[in-house]
A and B are shown apart, each in its own frame.
Chain A
Amino acid sequence: DADVTQTPRNRITKTGKRIMLECSQTKGHDRMYWYRQDPGLGLRLIYYSFDVKDINKGEISDGYSVSRQAQAKFSLSLESAIPNQTALYFCATSRSDRAYEQYFGPGTRLTVT
């Protein structure tokens, strides 16, 4: 079974809708991350969490919110989706002492029409 899972894998939604992307991990890692990937732009950090009570904004947090429901679960919400949020979204986890070695989920492809 995959160590980092994301649901849904694909989602098409309309402008203005609220959508939640979910991430679960079985690696026992404290740290979790949400990234966005756009063609030609690489990966950009949206939010990251050191533990359940410690959540931090990344490079591009505007328009997004997150919730760390448990050590193993980290969800990303788009309160009112807009077309330029169409992208591939990745969740990742890491140990605290090797935060640069991150383990990524399979991604969620989100299309906002």
Chain B
Amino acid sequence: GESVGLHLPTLSVQEGDNSIINCAYSNSASDYFIWYKQESGKGPQFIIDIRSNMDKRQGQRVTVLLNKTVKHLSLQIAATQPGDSAVYFCAENIPPPGAGSYQLTFGKGTKLSVIP
């Protein structure tokens, strides 16, 4: 199976509430974890990344939390807006030994629906 997965395939939230999207990973060698947003009919869009030596990182209205003990990653969206409706993918970056290349492994995605 894939090393990056999601706890919930769909999530519905009221506009203005906070959203939390969860992701589990299994590879301890991953050095970066990333969240992407994919709106309908578009390609994925980078949101935020977190390095494996951090446990929290904040962006504009988004916060990513990393718990390496339980291999869990989450994306929190504050004051969710209709424009946040999309599929959210977590991804992990596993660097090959001795090389500078990076390959991302994507999870299957969580669909976030914002109720006006």
Contact = CB atoms under 8 A, between A and B. Distances in A.
A101 B49 CA distance: 8
B106 A43 contact: yes
A90 B44 CA distance: 9
A92 B102 contact: no
Contacts of A44: 106
A100 B43 contact: no
A58 B106 CA distance: 13
B58 to A, nearest CB: 17
Interface string B31-50: 01010000001111110010
Contact of A104 (B44, B103, B109): B44
B103 A45 contact: yes
A50 B101 contact: yes
A34 interface: no
A100 B44 contact: no
Interface string A37-57: 000111111001010000010
Contacts of A45: 103-104
B93 interface: yes
Contacts of B49: 100-101
A100 B102 contact: yes
Contact of A101 (B34, B89, B103): B34
Contacts of A96: 100
A64 B59 CA distance: 38
Nearest to B4: A42
A69 to B, nearest CB: 21
20 contacts: A4-B43, A42-B89, A42-B106, A42-B108, A43-B44, A43-B106, A45-B104, A56-B101, A58-B103, A90-B44, A99-B102, A100-B93, A100-B104, A101-B49, A102-B44, A102-B46, A102-B104, A104-B44, A104-B45, A107-B42
Interface of B: 2, 32, 34, 41-46, 49, 89, 91, 93, 100-104, 106-109
